[in-house]
Amino acid sequence: MTYEKITVLEGFRSDIKLLPDNCQRMAIQLLMDIRDGRISGLSLDESSATGDLSDCYKVYFDPDPEFDNRSEWRFRLVYRLLGDGAVAGLTVEGVAVGRRHGLDAYLRAVANLGR
């Protein structure tokens, strides 16, 4: 499925600036790939460790080719899909991006969403 456009939360803009340059580029490319239907993320849920992210999805990524096991990739992109009430017109919204370690990306997502 393809989507109409990409938006990002203000917190996402802050998050991405904290990443290495190559990860910043990867995160932006991932959002475009999601919009264009080339990839999709895994559903998140509510967790006592992170809070309610049940309306969000996650994508794992890592610029280092040495990390060939996806579950070990060091970065996470969290996004959600927003509709405008029309059948066509879904928007991909970047919620947060951060490190896997310490649930960083998910804690950022909860904060960026104000939950």
**Has this prediction a pTM greater than 0.75?**
yes
Neighbour count for residue 23 (Cβ, 10 Å): 21
Q: Residue 100 has what pLDDT?
A: 94
DSSP labels, 23-69: HHHHHHHHHHHHHTTS---EEP-EETTTEE-TTEEEEEE-S-TT--S
- The domain ranges of the chain are 5-110
Alpha carbon distance 41, 78 (integer Å): 8
Q: Residue 70 has what pLDDT?
A: 75
Q: Residue 114 has what pLDDT?
A: 96
The whole-number mean pLDDT for each consecutive block of 10 residues of the chain, a chain of 115 residues, reads 93 98 97 97 94 97 86 92 71 97 97 97
Neighbour count for residue 115 (Cβ, 10 Å): 11
As a CATH number, domain 5-110 is 3.30.2310.20
Question: Three-state SS for 80?
Answer: strand
Q: Residue 24 has what pLDDT?
A: 98
Alpha carbon distance 115, 46 (integer Å): 11
In contact, 59 and 77? CB cutoff 8 Å: yes
